Amino acid sequence: MEGRRPLHYVFKLAEREKTIKFYTEILGMKVLRHEEFEGGCAATCNGPYDNAWSKTMVGYGSEDDHVVIELTYNYGINSYELGNDFLLLTIKLTGVKEKLDAAKFAYEEYEGGRILVRLPYSPGYQFEIINEQAEADPVQQVTLASSDIVQTIEFWQILLGMSIVDRNDTEVTLKYNACPFTLRFLNDGRPVKHSTAQGRMAIAAPEKDLLPIQEVVNSAGYQIKTPLISLDTPGKATVEVVVLLDPVRTLNCISIVTAHTLVGYRIC
């Protein structure tokens, strides 16, 4: 779908400094920006937390042309329970094994140099590292659980305009044509359980698309978590946001935001 692309995936973190060091020193990402907030987000997508919080954006390049990671820290929350909704973040990058060895972090190694490693701090998200040099953005794919592949396809392809890259009876991989990053949904036969570490996907779309997206999703009988709203941050661009609930509860929610210049505006 023209003008739409993935922006970032949101992880919660309980140990901010240690976790950010893992992303920067082990995975080689850069801190792109950091923001502090005194209270809950008006878009209501930070779960049941109305306390002070922060977000740190990390990635391999500008938010204008890379899929990045938002690390959400809720003050006073010391741990999160990991569900089975998020399965993998796939990164194509060389040199990670050596950094893991030097830091004495545990990992599993497979044929071809593929590595699976869990974040060593709560809530223990899992990363897949492909030991190859990426042509562009090393962030390749997010894999999520789905309890209904057919309904997942209806929502993400028909309603949100993603293209199918590959599919079978138990999984589907989708993307927006302008971006090599893919979303993979896998049905492993288990009910999807979010727990408190539930995540969120943010997608950019032209401003003219936001209300039609909200209307078509609503007409299809799916839930709107937060109807179209403007979020203002002093000194930064106002952003329009509509927040959707994934139909099979693969994600806590999906934020569709205006595709302005991405650096420096607030996406809750």
Q: Which residue has the higher pLDDT, 1 or 229?
A: 229
pLDDT of residue 258: 74
pLDDT of residue 255: 80
| Residue of 2, 17, 63, 128 marked catalytic | 128
CA distance 154 to 67: 24
pLDDT digits (tens, 9 = 90+) for 63-79: 989 999 999 999 999 99
- Reported confidence tier of residue 166, pLDDT bands at 50, 70, 90: very high
Q: Which of 41-55, 115-129, 173-187 has the lowest mean pLDDT?
A: 41-55
CA distance 102 to 210: 47
Region 223-233 average pLDDT: 83
Counting Cα atoms < 13 Å in the Cβ hemisphere of 28 gives 17
207 is catalytic: no
pLDDT of residue 17: 96
Residues whose CB is less than 8 angstroms from the CB of residue 29 and which lie 6 or more positions away in sequence, other chains included: 23, 58, 59, 60, 69
pLDDT of residue 240: 87
Average pLDDT over all residues of the chain: 87
pLDDT of residue 114: 95
pLDDT of residue 37: 86
pLDDT of residue 267: 29
Does residue 261 register a pLDDT over 60?
Answer: no
pLDDT of residue 254: 76
Region 164-190 average pLDDT: 94
pLDDT of residue 200: 87
Concatenated DSSP letters of 115-149: EEEE-SSTT--EEEEE-S--SS-SEEEEEEE-S-H
Contact 258, 205 (CB under 8 A): yes
User: 115-118 and 126-130 as β-strands: parallel, antiparallel, unpaired?
Assistant: antiparallel
pLDDT of residue 233: 62
pLDDT of residue 129: 98
Percentage with pLDDT > 90 across the chain: 62
Distance of CA 145 to the CA centre of its chain: 13
Residues whose CB is less than 8 angstroms from the CB of residue 88 and which lie 6 or more positions away in sequence, other chains included: 116, 126, 127, 128, 141, 142, 143
pTM: 0.90
Does residue 34 register a pLDDT over 90?
Answer: yes
Percentage with pLDDT > 70 across the chain: 89
pLDDT digits (tens, 9 = 90+) for 86-143: 999 999 999 999 999 999 999 999 998 899 999 999 899 999 999 999 999 999 999 9
pLDDT of residue 49: 73
